[in-house]
A and B are shown apart, each in its own frame.
Chain A
Amino acid sequence: MLVLIGVLLVIVGFAIRLNPLIVVTVAGIVTALLGGMNPAQILDSFGTGFASSRSVTIFVAVLPVVGIIEFFGLQEQAKTLIGRLAKLTAGRVLIGYLAVRQITAAVGLTSIGGHAQTVRPLVFPMAEGAALRRYGHVPEKISEKIKGHAAGADNVGVFFGEDVFVAVGSILLITTFVDTTYHLHLEPLQLALWAIPTAIAAFLIHGFRLLRLDKQLDKEYREFELTAQKETAGEAK
């Protein structure tokens, strides 16, 4: 039970907003010591942990292409393009992306999208472009909200799409663990099939929230304009 102190350290560390790298490292070392590991084993674990998890940092390989097309005005072009499509709002752009992301993930194409690959260079500028067309100007508060939802649409799409595909990590983890531990013979396809109801629910819930996002943004923009007007009125006095 003592090892749970490590979990507590993580919660407290994140809550008081220490640098997450320090929180994670200290919690790891403390937990390992409480669990009876010696310093040499702990250093070994940090080494093997790093070596075996390099795949999560592969997103940096995408940065050079994103960098150059941003230099040449990709975000500006995305905004102009969306500006021409009169009916697109930020929420509708994101619903479209959610659907594409979920469907492609469900057929196993999880790596065609992602925060570095699609959200920063394409999805966010398009959603912001739609807001720009609607309001003529995008205050920072609204831009922040669109950024959060652009990343959110990607996460919801991929999490609740990929499990419908049979050869995905989480499905294989379930079958490997369950088959070896409990001597069952679960077919990946059965598991994928039962992920479909949740996938549909995820699209409906998140899609509904994205439709409401437009109304929230409208409201925030009105408030922004009101305060801006008050400020100018104040200056006039």
Chain B
Amino acid sequence: MISVEAVYWLVGLLFVAWASLIAADTNHPRRWGSSAFWGLLGLCFFYSTWVQAGTAPAWILGVAVLVLVVLASTGLLGHGKHRTSTGPEREAYAKRFGNKLFIPALTLPLVTVILVLAAPVLVIGGTPLLDPKNTTLVALAIGAVAAVVVALLILKPKNPATPIFESRRILESIGWAALLPQMLTTLGILFTKAGVGTAVGTLASGLLPKGSLIAGVLVYCIGMFLFTVLMGNGFAAFPIMTAAIGWPVLVQTFHGDPAIIFAIGMLAGFCGTLCTPMAANFNLVPSALLEMKNKYGVITAQVGTAIPLLAVNIALMYFLAFH
């Protein structure tokens, strides 16, 4: 069986490979800080396997993560100048290869989808070939490898390591933002353990006037929205707002349909995800990936959809869930 841990090792190997390239780059302005950051990040991916299995102490990984944060935020991480193809070279390549350039880009989703769909029948000797709990992740990784192979076959670069060289360029332009989504998840865990959720729940129920349905719907939806903005994801907001308002007020007092209330409540939270830098993997990583000047540019583009959609969710819940 190809387990999801194998995928994480592949990611770890990539980080270590990029770190070695940086360490070998004598012109890199932050040569040692940068290679230490990416190399340590790669090692953390390996070590995590045993932390996840409960066979290695987690605090060592915790220390390593704090070291990563220090490296990234004290200016020891930087990006080097890369020799990549020039504009005219790319134009010439584009003329030569034409639409064949799209084949690797399309191989990735195609292989992923085929594997996900075929996963239930891909069974060898009673064990599934792909980790059944993480089928899409494993399929995506296989798709990514297949796409590189296809790209090498079609484009025949002089150096077969071109994908690694060129992806280092993209990685270094993303920089520390690559680590942020994982740090935010950790923050969510610490918040929950420390009881932030309960505190917010108490505050929210204090705000609510008794006996008003529209006030209940408003506080539940807007609370989902605001709390998602603070926490960076609707999953963290849902249990708190549901325990505070959704269940006791909307379902028990006003006898609303729980399926409608909870489905729409979660979607009200998703409107918050569109508006918050805390949802780094959706809002900050892409602006780094697209090399935008304004790192909040993605959020700016989304707010105009999020606010009217929140209003639509409030209206839908009010008119559909209570008969």
Contacts and interface: CB of A to CB of B under 8 A. Distances in A.
User: Do A and B share a complex?
Assistant: yes
A117 B290 contact: no
Given A24-B184, A43-B62, A51-B58, A63 B171 contact: yes
A59 interface: yes
Contact of A68 (B141, B155, B292, B304): B155
Contacts of A136: none
Most chain B C-beta atoms within 10 Å of own C-beta, residue among A78, A109, A152, A197: A152
A7 interface: yes
Interface string A157-169: 0011001000001
A82 interface: no
B63 interface: yes
Interface stretch (A172-180, A219-227, A228-236): A172-180
Nearest to B90: A73
A147 B292 contact: yes
Given A10-B278, A44-B62, A50-B182, A73 B267 contact: no
B123 interface: no
Contacts of B147: 62, 65
Given A21-B183, A43-B59, A110-B136, A76 B273 contact: no
Contact of A25 (B183, B292, B316): B183
Interface in A55-70: 55-70
Contacts of A37: 190, 193-194
A56 B185 contact: yes
Contacts of B200: 4, 7
Given A51-B51, A73-B97, A65 B105 contact: yes
Contacts of B98: 77
Interface string B65-106: 110010011000000000011000111111001110110110
B104 A6 contact: no
B35 interface: no
Contact of B162 (A21, A34, A68): A68
A173 to B, nearest CB: 6
B191 A54 contact: no
Nearest to A8: B230
B312 A54 contact: no
Interface in A125-183: 140, 144-145, 147-152, 154-156, 159-160, 163, 169-171, 173-174, 177-178, 181-182
A155 B66 CA distance: 30
Contacts of A1: 199, 202
Contacts of A36: 194
A155 B302 contact: yes
Contact of B287 (A52, A145, A151): A151
A186 B265 CA distance: 15
Nearest to A54: B8
B209 interface: no
Contact of A186 (B144, B167, B182, B258): B258
Contact of B163 (A67, A110, A147): A67
B221 to A, nearest CB: 11
B214 interface: no
B285 interface: yes
Interface string A53-97: 111111111111111111111111110110000000000000000
Contacts of A170: 234-235, 266, 270
Nearest to A162: B270
B308 interface: yes
A93 B170 CA distance: 24
Contacts of B44: 50
Contacts of A69: 101, 104-105, 151, 155
B230 A11 contact: yes
B45 interface: yes
A148 to B, nearest CB: 4
B93 A159 contact: no
Contact of A194 (B15, B136, B186, B264): B264
Contacts of B187: 10, 24, 27-28, 49
B122 interface: no
A10 B278 CA distance: 9
B298 A148 contact: yes
Contacts of A76: 90-91, 93-94
A31 B189 CA distance: 11
A206 B137 CA distance: 29
Contacts of B170: 63, 66-67, 70, 120
B287 A147 contact: yes
Contact of A124 (B57, B85, B290, B320): B290
28 contacts: A3-B191, A7-B196, A40-B59, A43-B62, A46-B66, A47-B65, A48-B58, A48-B61, A54-B45, A60-B15, A64-B164, A64-B166, A65-B107, A67-B162, A67-B168, A70-B170, A71-B162, A73-B91, A74-B105, A76-B90, A77-B94, A111-B139, A119-B289, A152-B301, A156-B274, A173-B235, A193-B259, A198-B312
State the 4 A-B residue pairs at the shortest beta-carbon distance, nearest first. Answer: A35-B194, A67-B166, A49-B186, A47-B58
Given A14-B277, A56-B281, A170-B266, 8 more contacts: A43-B63, A44-B59, A53-B182, A67-B168, A72-B90, A72-B157, A116-B289, A151-B287
